[in-house]
Amino acid sequence: MPSQKQLKWSQLKVGITVVAGSVVLGVLILLMTSTGGILTPKILVKSYFDNASGLQPGAVVRLQGVDIGSVAQVQVVSDPSRQLTPVEVTMKVSTKFHANLRQDSVATLATAGVLGATYVDIDSAQAKGRQARDGDELPTKETPDIQDVVRSTQSSLQNLEALEKRVDRILSFVESGRGSFGKFIYDPSLYNQLNSTVVEMQSLVADVANGKGSIGKALVSDELYRNANDAIRKLNVVIDDVNSAKGTAGKFLKDPTLYNNLNDTAANVKKLTDDINAGKGGLGVVARDPEFAAKLKNTMNNISALADRLNSGQGTAGKLLQDETLYNNLNQLLAETQDLIKAIRQNPKKYLTIHLKVF
C-alpha cells in the first residue's frame, strides 16, 4: 500500500501536468488567433459608426482583406457631437502593418457572407496621410447592411408581385379565348383559314409547275427564253453595225466628217465673232461704231416720240387711230351701202332704169 508521501507526490505531478498542458493550450490558442504575434506591439485606434450592425468585441479587423487586429470594445457614447455616429468601436491593431495603416484610412463594417459575422474592414487605397498612431480616429464610410438591402428591395418585390398578378390575369384572359391573342391561340377558324391558304398555295404552285398561267409559262415554257435570246441577238447585231459605222447612228459615232463639220462651224463662228469685235463688216460696224449707235438711238427716240403722238391723237394718223368719228362714219357708210345693195336687189328696175332723151 503506497504511503501518504507517495500519494501527494503523484497528485502534485498530475497537477503540474494539467497546468503545463493548460499553459501550452493557451499559448497555442493565442498563437492561432493572434494576427500580429504575441510580442508585436499593438496600438489602439477608434472609429465611430451610426449602427454597430451586430459587431462584437473580438471581431476581426482587416486591412485590404488581411487580418491586422481585433475589436477591443464596442460601446455607445453620449457625446452630443456624436449624435449621428454614437457607436464607438475601439480596435487593437498590430504595428506590423503600421506602414500601410494611415490616419485617413477609411473603416467600414462588412459581413462575412450574407449571414456571417460582422467585422471591421479598413481601406487604405486612397489614403495619403501619415501613419496611424495610438489613439487616432479613423474616418468611416457607411455601407448598407442586409436589412437595408431587404428594405430597399421591398418595393421591388411588391412591384414584382403586382406584375405577377397582372400577368396571371392576362394569361387567364388568353386561356378563356378572349381578345386577339386568345382568339389567335384557341379559335379554330384561324387554323382553318391558314389550312385553306396552304391548300390554295399548293394548288398555285402545282399550276405553276405544270406551266399554267403567265408565271407558269414564263417558268416552264422556253418561248420566253427564245424571245429574249432573239432580242439579245438583234441587239448585238445593232451594236456591231454601230461599231462598223453602218447606219445613221454608226456614222454619227464613227464618221469623222460630222466632227470636222462641227469643228469648221465652230471655227467660222469664232472668226465671225472676232470680226464683229474688231468692227469689221456690217455687223462689226453696227456693234463697234459709236456714231451708228448714236443714230440708232436717235431713231429709236423719234419712233418712241411718234408712238407717243399717235397714242395722244395728234396729227392725221393720230386722229385716225384715236378719233372715233372716222370709225362711226365708216360704220354708217357701210350700213347705208348694205341697205342700198339690199334695195337694188329687191327692186333693180327702180335703180337701173336708163332714160334716153333725144334732142
Same domain for 71 and 29?
no
Assigned domain for 280 exists: no
Assigned domain for 113 exists: yes
pTM: 0.36
Same domain for 139 and 49?
yes
At 295, list the grid cell. Answer: 443714230
Per residue in 277-329, pLDDT (tens digit) is 777 776 676 666 677 777 778 888 888 877 877 777 777 766 766 767 777 77
Same domain for 136 and 154?
no
Assigned domain for 52 exists: yes
Assigned domain for 338 exists: no
Closest CA to 146 of 137, 134, 154: 154
Instruction: Report which of residues 58 and 224 the model is more confident about.
Output: 58
Assigned domain for 10 exists: yes
Assigned domain for 79 exists: yes
Task: Look at residue 107 in the predicted model and tell me its pLDDT.
Answer: 92
- What are the backbone dihedrals phi and psi of residue 218, each rounded to the nearest 5 degrees, phi first? -65, -30
197: alpha, beta or left? (left if phi > 0; alpha if psi -120 to 50): alpha
Mean pLDDT computed over 200-228: 74
SS3 68: strand
User: Per-residue pLDDT for 7 more than 60?
Assistant: no
Same domain for 98 and 52?
yes
Same domain for 57 and 93?
yes
Same domain for 62 and 114?
yes
Same domain for 161 and 247?
no
Mean pLDDT computed over 54-75: 90
Per residue in 14-23, pLDDT (tens digit) is 777 877 777 7
Mean pLDDT computed over 26-52: 72
- Round to whole Å and give the CA distance between 174 and 184: 9
- Round to whole Å and give the CA distance between 276 and 354: 73
Model confidence at 352, pLDDT cuts 50, 70, 90, reads low
Per residue in 128-182, pLDDT (tens digit) is 889 888 888 899 887 655 555 555 667 777 788 888 888 887 777 777 767 766 6
Assigned domain for 326 exists: no
Same domain for 179 and 107?
no
Number of domains in the chain: 5
Same domain for 50 and 120?
yes
Task: Tell me the chain's radius of gyration from C-alpha atoms.
Answer: 63
Same domain for 47 and 29?
no
Domain that holds residue 229: 222-254
Same domain for 122 and 47?
yes
Assigned domain for 54 exists: yes
Alpha-carbon dihedral sign for residues 37, 42, 45, 50: positive
Mean pLDDT computed over 351-357: 58
Same domain for 12 and 96?
no
